[in-house]
């Protein structure tokens, strides 16, 4: 009898220590979208949220440039790359290291850092960077071998950062000397966008604020950074306020980089401040929609703003005024 009791104890302890993991596995196992993601080779079930919204609003076209903020683990970038091929490019930014999906360029860093945002702007303003290239020969082309071309590209961040600084200086000097605004108006919309660094077609933001770890440091489920970024804190007001901060940062970035006619999509947690964000979006975009995709879990407070066709005329002061 004593041996039987001893044999039961380990099983009981294992079950208790893994209860949260078991609940998660049970939910995932019975989740249609989680199963379909595995079958289709998608990074996560979140891909179906973007697929659903793209089917409804036609966000993507071949050849576009897409910036995916908070891309890890990469399912939205997977969808964006497939829908912008051939010729498109997708740039993902995330705080945590993650294996990028095929064809996607990524930058690891805190998007809220001005230095990281400068790197992203420098990257996308170079039209050929990040686009898949096929190399059929190692013979020199235009005087450079493929190896030499790769060496030249290594310093693009520094070069583009310098160009960005020089452009800013020229813009400031232009203000001082009274540059002819009529000359700018004679340019095409595309040329004006390019002049202001607006070269992105779609900005996506699925960012979450990492919640502070206070216990369970021995458990990977808590110490793993992706888990703390992918899940809410459980405090509704905090989750809402944090999401508003991230949405505003993403919208500011979109204002600076999104071309006229481009689209913006961001996740937010519903609350008292989302109406103010919606008002800002309506000032900058022709159409703004709130979405709760079928693949978003019903108990989740998450929702999405889908903002279509960026307007050219609104100024920063007009869009972000109180």
Query: In total, how many domains does the chain have?
Result: 2
Which domain does 95 fall in, by range? 2-127+199-320
**Sheet with 302-310, edge to edge strand ranges:** 104-108, 89-94, 65-69, 200-205, 258-269, 302-310, 285-291
Contacts of 59 (CB under 8 A, 6+ apart): 53, 83, 202, 263, 265, 306
pLDDT at 97: 82
Q: Are residues 62 and 186 in the same domain?
A: no
- Enzyme catalytic residues: 267
Residue 310, domain CATH: 3.40.50.150
Tokens standing for residue 107: 């930058």
Q: Are residues 7 and 94 in the same domain?
A: yes
Contact 103, 90 (CB under 8 A): yes
Q: Are residues 87 and 227 in the same domain?
A: yes
Task: Using pLDDT thresholds of 50, 70 and 90, give the confidence band for residue 96.
Answer: confident
Task: Using pLDDT thresholds of 50, 70 and 90, give the confidence band for residue 184.
Answer: confident
pTM of the model: 0.71
Average pLDDT in the chain:
76
Residue 311 in any domain: the answer is: yes
Residue 138 in any domain: the answer is: no
Q: Are residues 78 and 219 in the same domain?
A: yes
pLDDT in tens, 17-50: 344 444 434 444 456 676 776 766 666 778 889 9
Distances (CA, A) of 2 to 11, 15, 299: 15, 21, 46
Contact 90, 112 (CB under 8 A): no
Task: Give the whole-angstrom CA distance, residue 66 versus residue 4.
Answer: 61
DSSP-derived letter for residue 109 is S
Q: Where are the alpha helices (DSSP H) in 269-321?
A: 274-284, 316-320
Closest CA to 307 of 272, 282, 277, 276: 282
Q: Are residues 113 and 214 in the same domain?
A: yes
pLDDT in tens, 60-76: 999 999 999 999 888 99
DSSP-derived letter for residue 69 is E
Output Rg (C-alpha) for the chain, integer angstroms. Answer: 23
Residue 136 in any domain: the answer is: no
Q: Are residues 99 and 165 in the same domain?
A: no
Tell which of 161, 191, 221 closes a domain.
191
């Amino acid at each position: 009898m004593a041996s039987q009791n001893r044999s039961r104890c380990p099983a009981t302890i294992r079950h208790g220590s893994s209860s949260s993991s078991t609940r998660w596995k049970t939910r995932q196992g019975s989740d249609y979208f989680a199963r379909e993601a595995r079958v289709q080779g998608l990074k996560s079930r979140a891909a179906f949220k973007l697929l659903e919204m793209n089917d409804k609003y036609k966000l993507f076209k071949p050849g576009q440039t897409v910036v995916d903020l908070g891309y890890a683990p990469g399912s939205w970038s997977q969808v964006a790359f497939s829908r912008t091929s051939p010729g498109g490019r997708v740039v993902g930014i995330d705080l945590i290291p993650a294996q990028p999906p095929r064809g996607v360029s990524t930058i690891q860093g805190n998007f809220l850092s001005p230095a990281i945002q400068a790197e992203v702007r420098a990257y996308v303003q170079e039209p050929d960077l990040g686009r898949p290239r096929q190399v059929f020969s190692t013979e020199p082309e235009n005087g450079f071998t493929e190896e030499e071309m790769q060496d030249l590209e290594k310093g693009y961040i520094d070069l583009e950062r310098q160009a960005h600084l020089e452009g800013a200086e020229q813009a400031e000097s232009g203000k001082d000397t009274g540059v002819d605004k009529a000359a700018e108006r004679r340019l095409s919309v595309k040329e004006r966008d390019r002049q202001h660094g607006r070269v992105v077609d779609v900005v996506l933001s699925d960012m979450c604020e990492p919640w502070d770890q206070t216990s369970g440091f021995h458990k990977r489920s808590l110490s793993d950074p992706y888990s703390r970024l992918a899940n809410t804190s459980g405090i509704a007001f905090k989750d809402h306020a944090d999401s508003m901060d991230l949405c505003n940062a993403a919208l500011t970035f979109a204002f600076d980089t999104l071309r006229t006619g481009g689209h913006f999509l961001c996740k937010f947690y519903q609350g008292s401040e989302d109406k103010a964000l919606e008002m800002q979006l309506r000032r900058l975009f022709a159409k703004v929609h709130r979405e709760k995709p079928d693949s978003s879990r019903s108990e989740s407070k998450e929702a999405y703003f889908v903002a279509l066709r960026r307007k050219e005329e609104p100024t920063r002061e007009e869009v972000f005024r109180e």
